[in-house]
Structure 1
Amino acid sequence: MKFQPLALALGAFLALGGLNAHADIVAQWDYNKGSTKHSQSMNGASFATLGGVTTSFVAQTGSSDPNAGQAMNTASYAAQGTGSLTRGVQFGVDTTAYENIVLTFDQRNSATASAWTALLYTIDGENWSQATTFKMATGNLDFVKGLSFDFSSIAGVADNTNFAFQLVSMFAPGTSSYLATGATSNYGPAGTIRYDMVTISGTEIIAAAVPEPESYALMLAGLGAMALVLRRRQRQA
């Protein structure tokens, strides 16, 4: 127990470099720069529409964006009873050097849009899996802020050049038809869905630091000095 300070010092020395991990924005779409699809990307990023969906830029009033700007509006969805999980938007993000990947976004539906949206993802660029679903509250036609999904427990998402995800409209679970977002509305292909502040964040992967020879020498000198102090205290006790 008398040499506990030595163990603590050694542990602290070896742990340096792993204490400063924090979440970074890997890619973000805030749509505040005209027709630019993504306005910030630390790594490679891409965007595409699915199934003939069209996009335009509209007011982002009510979203979590702190700056007055725009949101992306999507339209031209499938007819009732057709095309579930085939129409929406796709975002590709190179997560190389990042782990603990988390998606957050804001969404606003019109009354006749599908209340249900599915989140799909791929780690190889070809095969897609369903991560989760999101349902807009019936009758809520305002932006729903901070929708999120944590990918950190899914193998292959971190440190991956092929990671991509989709937000697609889907039938109400257990049915073969879309459910309208509006409380008194019927679903229609003219319904629209707005997205804003689509953000992928993660923590940088930091390799365990290997001390340089000079660092070893400095550490050993410090440990030697501490040992000498401890021996003197033992003799005086």
Structure 2
Amino acid sequence: MHHRSTAMQLRSLALAALLATSFAAQADTVALWDYNPTPTTTKHTVSANGASFATLGVTTTFAGGSAYQGAAAGQALNTTGYAAQGAGDLTRGVQFMVDTSGYTDLVLTFSQRNSNTASAWTMLQYTVDGSTWLNATTFQMPSASATTFVNGLTFDFSGVELANNNADFGFRFVATFAPGTSAYAPTAAGQTYATTGTIRYDNVLLSGTAIPDVPVDPLPVPEPQTYALMLAGLATVGLLARRRRVG
């Protein structure tokens, strides 16, 4: 029987190694908007389970994109028509809904380019129920980078447990007032904020780790001799119990 126990232990160790390898694997693409080569819609480029896009009070066109991580520059999503100065904080921008079913450890990366008069500050918000939006973090486009892309902007959602394996997950970018004020700050120093300022987004990527399908190791079926030993044991227990009652 010892060799059967050893075999089961080896299978368990192999399963543990397989799971460890799966979790260490490179992150998968859950959804991607790269707007290449020449997009005609705002539809996602890649989606594992389904994704959607919506505008929040702005208008969109396509303009020159970012050549990031060796990819061709292609096009980027260009947005304009933001709120008047001092009004509409956190109301105007773009929204991405992504079904993350089957994925965990989500990470968002993207590229952004502001015109000189666009709001320097953008708020990243997210939802785990499809309707209630929570603030994640703010991104400030530095004045020196006005009219050039800032690549590799990142937010790690791995600490947001409810974002994992969630068909109602989404995130959005909305213009926000400069911290501690009730006004938008222009991206470039010496400029004035304007509703006609533009913000471009490109290479919007939500990646994650696929939740592995854990194989179930079936219980071993006892061999005939094992059944015989079990029956003999039960008979012995019954005989001993009978003798106690007689005694």
In the superposition, the TM-score normalised over structure 1's length comes to: 0.82
CA distance in 2, matches of 1:208, 1:39: 30
Deviation at 1:210, TM superposition (A): 1.7
Residue identity matched to 2:93 = G
* Other-structure match for 1:49: 55
Deviation at 1:17, TM superposition (A): 2.7
* Other-structure match for 1:100: 105
Residue identity matched to 1:15 = A
Q: Is the 8 A contact 1:63 1:144 kept in 2?
A: no
* Unaligned runs of at least 5 residues, structure 1: 1-5, 218-237
Q: Which has the larger radius of gyration?
A: 2
* Other-structure match for 2:28: 24
Residue identity matched to 2:29 = I
* Other-structure match for 2:231: none
Find out whether 1:77 has 2:77 as its counterpart.
Answer: no
Residue identity matched to 2:83 = A
Secondary structure of the corresponding residue to residue 145 of structure 2: coil
CA distance in 2, matches of 1:124, 1:65: 36
Query: After the TM superposition, which residues 168-207 of structure 1 pair with which residues of structure 2 at under 5 Å, given as runs?
Result: 168-207=174-213
Find out whether 1:133 has 2:138 as its counterpart.
Answer: yes
Cα pair distance change 1:88/1:61, threshold 3 Å: same
Q: For residues 98-122 of structure 1, give each alpha carbon's deviation from its aligned partner in whole angstroms, at most 9, with x where no partner exists.
A: 0001110000000000000000111
Cα pair distance change 1:145/1:76, threshold 3 Å: same
Cα pair distance change 1:63/1:187, threshold 3 Å: farther
CA distance in 2, matches of 1:135, 1:8: 54
* Other-structure match for 2:14: 13
Identity of aligned residues (%): 52
Find out whether 1:116 has 2:121 as its counterpart.
Answer: yes
Secondary structure of the corresponding residue to residue 181 of structure 1: coil
CA distance in 1, matches of 2:72, 2:218: 46
Residue identity matched to 2:216 = V
Residue identity matched to 2:132 = N
Residue identity matched to 2:121 = W
Residue of 160, 164, 186 corresponding to 1:158: 164
Cα pair distance change 1:143/1:126, threshold 3 Å: same
Residue identity matched to 2:32 = Q
Deviation at 1:86, TM superposition (A): 0.2
Find out whether 1:167 has 2:173 as its counterpart.
Answer: yes
Question: Which structure has greater helix proportion?
Answer: 2
Cα pair distance change 1:133/1:192, threshold 3 Å: same
CA RMSD of aligned residues (A): 2.3
* Unaligned runs of at least 5 residues, structure 2: 1-5, 224-247
Q: Is the 8 A contact 1:111 1:139 kept in 2?
A: no
Cα pair distance change 1:209/1:140, threshold 3 Å: same
Cα pair distance change 1:183/1:176, threshold 3 Å: same
Residue identity matched to 2:13 = A
Q: Is the 8 A contact 1:60 1:69 kept in 2?
A: yes
In the superposition, the TM-score normalised over structure 2's length comes to: 0.79
Q: Is the 8 A contact 2:111 2:152 kept in 1?
A: yes
Residue identity matched to 2:22 = N
